[in-house]
Amino acid sequence: NAGVMQNPRHLVRRRGQEARLRCSPMKGHSHVYWYRQLPEEGLKFMVYLQKENIIDESGMPKERFSAEFPKEGPSILRIQQVVRGDSAAYFCASSDLGTGNQPQHFGDGTRLSIL
């Protein structure tokens, strides 16, 4: 399966712990987008990365959240000192070009639950 791979599918953390979400884009894709979906709500853009660069992080909270997309390996969305409000589904998408008229291919998401 050469699609977008996210892991883990489900992640449970206690308040104050760190959460690391991984996303491997489709083969050949160098553009990665992270979205958050709160319960019963639509998707919200968080961050857009190209290899080794953050292009737009305007949708990501300034504190506790960070993202990277290293030269080698998956993109990582990191949430430090998690709180209950971080409970959500986090989706990653990738595309081969960073324009809006290219389809974005989505992973199955990571469901994060904070106890």
Partner 1 sequence: KNEVEQSPQNLTAQEGEFITINCSYSVGISALHWLQQHPGGGIVSLFMLSSGKKKHGRLIATINIQEKHSSLHITASHPRDSAVYICAVSMDSNYQLIWGAGTKLIIKP
State the Cα–Cα distance between residues 71 and 51, nearest whole angstrom.
6
The helix/strand/coil state of 86 is: helix
Binding flag, residue 42, partner 1 (CB under 8 A): yes
What one-letter code names the amino acid at 13?
R
The only residue of 16, 44, 61, 70 in contact with partner 1, by rule CB under 8 A: 44
Six token digits for residue 96:
């081969």
Binding flag, residue 74, partner 1 (CB under 8 A): no
The only residue of 69, 109, 112, 114 in contact with partner 1, by rule CB under 8 A: 109
Closest CA to 6 of 114, 92, 111: 92
The only residue of 21, 26, 31, 79 in contact with partner 1, by rule CB under 8 A: 31
Binding flag, residue 11, partner 1 (CB under 8 A): no
Closest CA to 92 of 69, 62, 61: 69
Residues that bind partner 1 (CB under 8 A): 31, 33, 41-45, 48, 55-56, 91, 93, 95, 98-109, 111
